[in-house]
Structure 1
Amino acid sequence: MRCRRSLLCLTFIALLTACGSTPDAPAAGQGYYRVKPGDTLYRIARNHGRSVAELSRWNNLKDPTAINAGQLLRVTPPGSATPTRPSPTPSRPAPSPRPTPTPAPRAPAIKLVQPAQGKVADRFDGNRNKGINYAGTRGSAVVAAAAGKVVYVGEGIRSYGRLVIVKHNEDYLTAYAHNESLLVREGEAVKQGQRIATMGDSGADRVMLHFELRYKGNAIDPAPFLP
């Protein structure tokens, strides 16, 4: 199923967070922006007077949350004044092997409400399905699983259909895919349980809600956080 194949580590949240560091990275040329640690695509788009969908399209980003520190992004439309790309970074000696990192800390608790009233059709498996799929009827309510800020609304990722992403804090975000109608706007604050969309089949082969929970950019099983 297209939904299962697509949500590549959403990352439903680094919208966001870029990770890693890029010492001595060359400056971005005119019309480009080099991602800094802690940047989100939403923030970059806002600072350059653009939308997340535009930057996703111009940079061929399949997942608007998967950006990395040091990455070069086009922030002007293709076909505008030709941007000047930076000179290539001079080659450097291979770095010394790094010590094996310690395991990531366990995700702290976040209390969620069920985002749709419907039978669970597919559960999280961490591989083919990065979230939970709820079966339901067209037009039924999709609600915010927790309070937060809407950071993406649109159809920029074809396999998600009409998508809403809500950022809850610096660690967590949730994604709601395949909607029929979208009832919120980017930048809007939403309450837990607030209606944000209606269920549909955009980008899918049946009426459903694909729901993801992301912790520091990684998809995790929402089930333990749901009632």
Structure 2
Amino acid sequence: MFATYKTLCTPKLVKLSAIACTAVLMSACASQKIATVDKRPVYVRGVPNYYIVKNGDTLSKIATTYGLDYRRVGALNGLDSNYTIYPGQRLILTSANNPTSYRPTTIRPVTVNQSSRPSNPTYYPPRQTNNSSTPLPMPNQVIVPTSSLSQGWLRPTTGNLLRPFNQQTGTLGMWFGGQAGANVVASQPGTVLYVGSDLPEYGKLVLIQHNSDYISAYAHLGSFAVQERQTVQAGQTIGTVGTDNNLNQPAVEFQIRYRGTPVNPASYLK
């Protein structure tokens, strides 16, 4: 008798009994149509590193699609105050230091009312900003800067010029050589907008915003010496010369963008 009672009271059978009771209770609750709670984490759409602008796009539309702040995207890409973009333009959306994809959230309890649930949900597209009055600059458009920063920029390295700016061949900056690990400095004072390697064609990249018109880019670095949102001075070290490029030697690509458009750095350097 004792053995039979002990067998019936094994943890396994007790656990099975608890599960059975739970199932009965759940069935009863379901019949009463009480509030339901989904405690599973919800994941937002992953944000790509960059986006290629298409016909009809606006910065507001692109930012809304991925749940981003259009002002940060504009600053990250050196856009003008009208946030002008053109078809085919590559926009940086995120940085490796600020991932925005897959953020878990908690769902609050919601009472389900079957009779009031719409059969055909209505989709409301994000509101678009009308930039039709702003001319879209083409990639080969020549910009004549008028800002006070139109001259007096420092060379980012002390190395020799390896490749000049040539918009026709797709060289949108100047390539400077140097010893691997040598310092790369900020060409003008400003605020660091981006530090990362999200764009393979630029390798390790630093972007510095100097004012509302100008952004400088330092690509194919070997290492970083600054952080995003950091204030830097002209001549301050921001990284080192790297070897990750298609020149097969240590080099840094230096770009200056005026209102989002690449310009020839040779016209600005001291």
What TM-score do the two structures reach when normalised by structure 1? Answer: 0.62
Residue 188 of structure 1 and its aligned partner are, at CA, apart by 0.6
Question: Does the C-alpha gap of structure 1 residues 183 and 28 become closer, same or farther in structure 2, counting only changes over 3 Å?
Answer: closer
- Counterpart code for 1:163: L
Question: Does the C-alpha gap of structure 1 residues 143 and 101 become closer, same or farther in structure 2, counting only changes over 3 Å?
Answer: closer
Which residue does the alignment assign to 1:176?
Answer: 218
Q: Which moved more, 1:119-128 or 1:209-218?
A: 119-128
1:199 aligns with 2:231: no
- Counterpart code for 1:220: V
Contact 2:64 2:126 in 1 (8 A): no
1:64 aligns with 2:64: no
Q: How many residues align?
A: 172
SS in 2 for 1:40: helix
1:144 aligns with 2:186: yes
Alpha-carbon distance between aligned partners in 2 of 1:122 and 1:104, rounded to the nearest angstrom: 20
Contact 1:177 1:210 in 2 (8 A): yes
Alpha-carbon distance between aligned partners in 2 of 1:62 and 1:98, rounded to the nearest angstrom: 22
Which residue does the alignment assign to 1:87?
Answer: 124
Alpha-carbon distance between aligned partners in 2 of 1:224 and 1:187, rounded to the nearest angstrom: 27
1:32 aligns with 2:70: no
Where does structure 2 lack aligned partners over 5 or more consecutive residues?
Answer: 1-56, 77-88, 94-98, 106-121
Deviations 1:121-164 (A, max 9, x none): 10001132000001111011100000000110111111111111
Alpha-carbon distance between aligned partners in 2 of 1:99 and 1:77, rounded to the nearest angstrom: 32
SS in 1 for 2:101: coil
Alpha-carbon distance between aligned partners in 2 of 1:118 and 1:158, rounded to the nearest angstrom: 24
Larger Rg: 2
What TM-score do the two structures reach when normalised by structure 2? Answer: 0.53
Residue 40 of structure 1 and its aligned partner are, at CA, apart by 3.0
SS in 1 for 2:267: helix
Alpha-carbon distance between aligned partners in 1 of 2:159 and 2:143, rounded to the nearest angstrom: 32
Question: Does the C-alpha gap of structure 1 residues 155 and 98 become closer, same or farther in structure 2, counting only changes over 3 Å?
Answer: closer
Contact 2:151 2:268 in 1 (8 A): yes
Alpha-carbon distance between aligned partners in 2 of 1:165 and 1:223, rounded to the nearest angstrom: 18
Deviations 1:61-99 (A, max 9, x none): 95427xxxxxxxxx9524857xxx953589xxxxxx989
Contact 1:42 1:152 in 2 (8 A): no
Alpha-carbon distance between aligned partners in 2 of 1:192 and 1:114, rounded to the nearest angstrom: 10
Which residue does the alignment assign to 2:209?
Answer: 167
Deviations 1:5-40 (A, max 9, x none): xxxxxxxxxxxxxx9687xx7x947x72473xxx23
Question: Does the C-alpha gap of structure 1 residues 129 and 153 become closer, same or farther in structure 2, counting only changes over 3 Å?
Answer: same
1:135 aligns with 2:196: no
Which residue does the alignment assign to 2:158?
Answer: 117
Deviations 1:173-212 (A, max 9, x none): 1000111110000011000011111101235443100000
Which residue does the alignment assign to 1:226?
Answer: 269
Alpha-carbon distance between aligned partners in 2 of 1:43 and 1:212, rounded to the nearest angstrom: 16
Higher helix share: 2
Which structure is richer in relative contact order (CA contacts within 8 A, separation 6 or more)? 1
Contact 1:141 1:198 in 2 (8 A): yes
Contact 1:139 1:198 in 2 (8 A): yes
SS in 2 for 1:180: strand
